[in-house]
Amino acid sequence: MIATQQHIDPKLIAILETVSDPEIPVLSIMDMGVVRSAIIQDDFVKVQITPTYSGCPAMDVIGDDIKKALQEAGYKSEVELILAPAWTTDWITPRGRKALEDYGIAAPLGAEADKDVLLHGKRMVKCPQCGSINTKMVSQFGSTACKAQFQCEECLEPFDYFKCLK
């Protein structure tokens, strides 16, 4: 995993963990790696978040949800959207990857593996339903910007694959 400078005040971690991505409710924004910094100054909190994809419509909602959660904990806050360093799927925590799998979304492979899977149709993406790797890509683009559509040839269920983004 790439080490990146994440400055999050330990007092805020539990609060921020209650906020989730509205499109993937099982995944907290902390496990997703979109919170880049959260600093307390007096009773005011400054939070920086970064989008997964430029056009991700969830970012506005996430910003509002952060403010609401902090307000309930007694903090006034400001949320800023930053673009650099750009988000990568490497920032999804192991707990986040597990949450994705449990929810029925295959977690991202590495960048090179992704190229093989998406370009040459290699069988490497594991079906989150039955665990088979006998799966095929239906489309590089799925129900949200961050996902591709797959189908399992074993249990025949369709499923989402969280695309690797580096």
Which one of 124, 136, 143, 153 is in contact with other proteins (CB under 8 A)? 143
Whether the CA torsion 73, 75, 80, 82 is positive or negative: it is: negative
What tokens does 87 get? 């988000």
Does position 56 bind other proteins by CB under 8 A? yes
Which SS3 state, helix, strand or coil, does residue 59 take?
A: helix
Does position 63 bind other proteins by CB under 8 A? no
Strands 20-21 and 7-8: unpaired
Q: Report d(CA 33, CA 52) in Å as an integer.
A: 9
Piece of 20-28, 55-63, 99-107, 121-129 that binds other proteins (CB under 8 A): 55-63
As measured in angstroms, the least distance from the Cβ of 156 to other proteins is 17
What tokens does 66 get? 């952060």
As measured in angstroms, the least distance from the Cβ of 165 to other proteins is 5
| Residues in touch with other proteins (CB under 8 A) | 51, 53-57, 82-87, 118-119, 138-143, 145, 149, 163, 165-166
